[in-house]
Amino acid sequence: MPDPANPADGGLLVVLAPGIASPELAGLDIEATAEALPLIVDAETALEWTAPEWRALAEQAGQPFAGVPAPATSVPIDCSLVPCVALTYDDGPSGYTPQLLDALAAQRASATFFLIGSAVPGGADTVRRTVAEGHEVASHTMSHPDLTTLSAAAARAQVRDAAALIEQTAGVPVTMFRPPYGAVNAAVIDAVGMPAILWSVDTNDWRRPGVDVLIDRAVNGVSPGGIVLFHDTHLDSVTAAPAIVEGLRDRGFEPVTVSELFGGSVPAGRVSSR
C-alpha cells in the first residue's frame, strides 16, 4: 500500500492544523479546518515552494555524495601568522566575472572586487554571487573619473553613491574604495571618509601582455602583505587566475581579501600593502 507521507511522484504531504482559515479554503466552501486536514501537493508545485538550497539537493538525489561546498572564507586565515597576498580586481562586474568566480571557487581562494557603480545593476546576480562565495566587494566609483579633478562633494558622491548601490544589491556594507588610476590625495580621502586601497603590484593587464607575463608579475613580483591589481574586464587576467593562485601557494602565500590581509581592520588613508 502506498505511503501517503511519501507520494510516489515526489510530491509533498501537507497537514493543515485544525482552525486554519484562508481565502483558498473559503473558495472550497470550507470556513476553517475542523480537524487536521491532509493535502497532497503535486511534485511540480512542491518544487516551486522549496528554497534554492533544497532544490539543489533534490536535483542531486541518487547521485554519489561529494561533500558540501564551502565558501573560500569559511576557514578564517590569520595573516599575522600566515604570509598573505590580497588579490584585487577592478572595473567589474563584467561578462568575465562569473568565469573568474568559478576559477577562485575551484581553488578555494578569495579576492576583493572593486566595482563600478554603473555596472552593478546589469550584473546584480554576479555581485550577489561574489559575496555569497566569500569574496569582498568595494567601491570603484560610479563612472571611473579621476577623483582629484573633482570637487570634494563630487568625489564623495562618486565613491559613496557606488557604495550605496553595491550595499543595496549585495546586502553587505562597503567600507573601502579604490580611486580610478590610483589618483587620490588628502582632500579626496577626507571627503570620502573611507580607506583608499591602492596596490603594491600593478600587473598592467590592460596593456594585454599575455597570460604568462601576468602570472609572472603576480606570483614573482609580490611580497608578503602585498596587494595585486588586476581587472576582471580582461580575459587574460581571468584565464591566469588558477595558475596565479597555485603559484602564490607554491611560494607559501595565501590569497585573501583586503580586509583579511589586515585582520578585519583596514587602516585609514592611503593603503598599498600590509
* Residues contacting 30, CB < 8 A, separation 6+: none
List 135, 144, 231, 234, catalytic entry: 231
Q: pLDDT band for 40, please (50, 70, 90 cuts).
A: confident
Identify the weakest region by mean pLDDT among 11-15, 129-133, 182-186: 11-15
CATH number of 76-271: 3.20.20.370
Please state whether beta strands 112-115 and 254-256 pair in parallel, antiparallel, or not at all (unpaired): unpaired
Supply 98's cell numbers: 562569473
Read off the pLDDT band of 1 (50, 70, 90): very low
Tens of pLDDT, residue by residue over 90-111, are 999 999 999 999 999 999 999 9
> What is the spatial distance between Cα 100 and Cα 240, in angstroms, rounded to a whole number?
9
Of 23-32, 54-63, 149-158, where does mean pLDDT reach its minimum?
54-63
What average pLDDT does the structure give for the chain? 90
CATH 3.20.20.370 positions along the chain are 76-271
DSSP secondary structure letter of residue 82: S
List Cα–Cα distances, 185 to 106, 146, 270, in angstroms: 38, 11, 8
Q: Among this protein's residues, is 144 annotated catalytic?
A: no
How confident is the model at residue 181, as a pLDDT? 97
Instruction: List the catalytic residue out of 90, 205, 232, 236.
Output: 90
Burial class (CB in 10 A: 0-12, 13-18, 19+), 167: middle
Tell me whether residue 135 is one of the annotated catalytic residues: no
The answer to whether the CB of 46 falls within 8 A of the CB of 187 is: no
pTM of the model: 0.74
